[in-house]
C-alpha cells in the first residue's frame, strides 16, 4: 500500500543535500524549513552514516531536528508489523518530552512511523496500554520509564537507536543510575547520540565513556550563533533591592513579547515573583520545588501569552522551547559561560531580534568578566538615568577585566584561618623616679603616705 499526499510543497534545495527519504524532505518543506542550522548541518550527515555522536549545542539551535531526522530516516523503510520499539529518546522533563514528541510527529507526518510518550504526571495504566501497541519511537523521562520497565510493560531489547537529549541536565537532576540502567536495557542498539547544552563535568564524561563508541564530538556553542540576533548588555546595581527596581523598570519600559528573569536560587525566584505580583505584573515562577501541576500551568500560560513574564531558575527552565521570547534578564549572573549561552540563546531565534540584560553588583563583576572572556566579546554597558545607582564598576581593572582588589591574606595551612600580621605591643617607657626591682626580682615596698590629719 502506498501513501498518497496530494498538493505537497516543493522540497527546499538546501535540505535536499542530505540523503534523507523523500517523505521526510516533504515534511521539511511543509514545515517551511529554509536552511539547516549549524548543528543540523554538522550532525545530520554524520548521524546518517551511523556514527555515535556527542553534541554540545545551545537551546534554540535546532538540535531536536538534528537527531529526529536521521532517526526517522533509519526507520522509514523498515518492513514488517509493529512488533518492537526501534528507538528510544531519553529526556529530563515531561515538558521537553512533549515538545520532542510534537517534533517527531511533524517530521513523520508523511510516514507510518508512530511515536509514544512515557513521562511522570500521566496515567500509568494508559501508558501501559499504549506500550502494548508498540510504538516505533518511544520518548520518555528516566523515572517513569524505569517504573514501566520494572512492571514488565516495557521491552527495550530491540532498540536500534538511543538518543540522550539534555544529558547534562539529567545528571544534574540525579538520574545517573537510571540513565545507565536504561542504556544497558538497549544493549543491542546500533547507534547512540548524546546531546547536552554544556560541556558538563566528570559525571558527563563518565556516562559518555560508558554509552558511546568512538564518538564524533561536535561543539556548536559558538559566539557567532549567540550574538547573531541578540544585543547583550550589562547594567550595574548597588545591591539586590536595587536590581529589583531595575528589573521592574525594564519590564515597564522595554518593548517585548515574552521575558524570562533568571535567578540562581529558588528563594530569590520566589521573592522576585512576589514583588512582581504586588506590582500587578502578570507573571509566573518556575523552580524545582513547584509540583507538576503548577509547572504545567506556568508553562502553558506563558506560551499562550496570558502572562508575559516568567521567573525561573536554570534547572527548572532547561529545555523549554518558547516562541517569541525576546527579553532575557539575568538577575543573578550565571555561574559559567555555558550556562550564560544556554540562557541567552533562548532569545533572538530564527533571525529575530532579542535583548539580554545582566544586572551586575560588585560581587558579580569578576564572574561577568570571566564570561566576557569565554565569549571573546565585551557586553554593552548601559545606564538608565531613572534607576541609576552609585556603583558603576570597579575603579581599577586588571588586563583580564577583573577588578583589582586588596591583596589576599596568607592562610595558615594547618588551621585554614587567615593570618593577620602580628602587631608589636608598644613598650612602656619607665616613669621618672620609678622604684627599681630588688635583686630577688621583687619590687621594693612602697611607703604609705601618712593620712592627712
What are the cell numbers at 226? Answer: 549567540
pLDDT of residue 355: 92
Sheet (strand 216-219) strand order:
115-118, 137-140, 87-90, 161-164, 191-196, 53-56, 216-219
Q: Do 224-387 and 15-221 have the same topology in CATH? A: yes
Average pLDDT for 117-143: 95
DSSP string, 96-122: HHHHHHHHHHHHTTTSS--EEEE-TTS
| pLDDT tens figures, 67-99 | 999 999 999 977 655 679 999 999 998 888 999
Q: Which of 295, 291, 332 is nearest to 310 (CA)?
A: 295
| pLDDT tens figures, 4-26 | 434 333 433 477 788 899 999 99
d(CA 32, CA 113): 21
Average pLDDT for 360-381: 91
pLDDT of residue 453: 47
Output b/e per residue, 374-398; b: 16+ Cβ within 10 A: ebeeebeeeeeeebebeeeebeeee
Q: Where are the domains of the chain?
A: 15-221, 224-387
Residues listed for the chain: 453
pTM exceeding the 0.75 threshold for the entire prediction: no
CATH 1.20.1530.20 fits 15-221, yes or no: no
Would you say the C-alpha torsion 357, 363, 369, 370 has a positive or negative sign? Answer: negative
**Topology (CATH level 3) of domain 224-387:** Rossmann fold (3.40.50)
Amino acid at each position: 500500500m502506498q501513501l498518497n499526499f496530494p498538493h505537497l510543497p516543493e522540497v527546499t534545495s538546501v535540505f535536499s543535500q542530505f540523503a534523507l527519504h523523500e517523505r521526510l524532505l516533504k515534511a521539511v518543506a511543509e514545515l517551511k524549513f529554509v536552511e539547516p542550522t549549524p548543528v543540523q548541518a554538522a550532525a545530520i550527515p554524520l548521524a546518517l552514516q551511523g556514527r555515535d555522536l556527542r553534541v554540545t549545542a545551545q537551546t534554540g539551535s535546532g538540535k531536536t531536528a538534528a537527531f529526529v531526522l536521521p532517526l526517522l530516516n533509519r526507520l522509514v523503510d523498515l518492513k514488517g508489523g509493529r512488533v518492537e520499539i526501534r528507538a528510544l529518546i531519553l529526556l529530563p522533563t515531561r515538558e521537553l518530552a512533549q515538545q520532542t514528541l510534537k517534533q517527531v510527529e511533524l517530521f513523520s507526518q508523511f510516514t507510518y512511523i508512530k511515536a509514544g510518550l512515557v513521562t511522570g504526571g500521566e496515567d500509568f495504566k494508559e501508558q501501559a496500554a499504549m506500550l502494548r501497541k508498540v510504538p516505533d519511537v518511544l520518548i520518555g523521562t528516566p523515572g517513569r520509564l524505569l517504573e514501566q520497565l520494572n512492571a514488565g510493560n516495557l521491552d527495550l531489547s530491540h532498540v536500534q537507536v538511543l538518543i540522550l537529549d539534555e544529558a547534562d541536565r539529567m545528571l544534574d537532576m540525579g538520574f545517573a543510575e537510571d540513565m545507565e540502567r536504561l542504556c544497558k536495557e538497549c544493549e543491542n542498539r546500533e547507534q547512540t547520540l548524546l546531546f547536552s547544552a554544556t560541556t558538563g563535568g566528570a559525571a558527563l564524561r563518565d556516562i559518555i565513556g560508558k554509552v558511546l563508541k568512538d564518538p564524533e564530538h561536535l561543539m556548536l556553542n559558538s559566539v557567532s550563533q549567540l550574538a547573531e540576533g541578540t544585543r547583550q548588555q550589562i547594567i550595574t546595581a548597588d545591591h539586590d533591592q536595587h536590581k529589583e527596581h531595575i528589573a521592574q523598570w525594564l519590564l515597564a519600559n522595554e518593548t517585548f513579547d515574552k521575558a524570562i528573569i533568571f535567578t540562581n536560587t529558588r528563594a530569590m525566584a520566589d521573592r522576585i515573583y512576589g514583588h512582581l505580583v504586588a506590582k500587578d505584573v502578570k507573571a509566573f515562577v518556575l523552580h524545582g520545588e513547584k509540583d507538576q501541576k503548577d509547572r504545567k500551568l506556568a508553562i502553558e500560560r506563558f506560551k499562550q501569552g496570558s502572562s508575559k513574564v516568567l521567573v525561573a531558575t536554570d534547572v527548572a527552565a532547561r529545555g523549554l522551547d518558547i516562541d517569541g521570547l525576546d527579553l532575557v534578564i539575568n538577575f543573578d549572573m550565571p555561574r559559567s559561560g555555558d550556562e550564560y549561552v544556554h540562557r541567552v540563546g533562548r532569545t533572538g531565534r530564527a533571525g529575530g531580534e532579542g535583548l539580554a540584560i545582566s544586572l551586575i553588583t560588585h560581587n558579580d563583576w569578576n564572574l561577568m568578566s570571566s564570561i566576557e572572556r569565554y565569549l571573546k566579546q565585551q557586553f554593552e554597558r548601559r545606564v538608565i538615568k531613572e534607576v541609576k545607582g552609585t556603583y558603576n564598576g570597579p575603579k581599577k581593572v586588571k588586563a583580564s577585566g577583573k577588578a583589582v582588589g586588596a591583596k589576599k591574606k596568607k592562610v595558615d595551612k594547618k588551621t585554614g584561618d587567615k593570618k593577620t600580621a602580628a602587631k608589636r605591643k608598644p613598650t612602656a617607657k619607665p616613669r621618672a623616679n620609678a622604684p627599681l626591682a630588688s635583686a630577688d626580682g621583687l619590687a621594693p615596698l612602697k611607703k604609705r603616705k601618712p593620712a592627712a590629719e
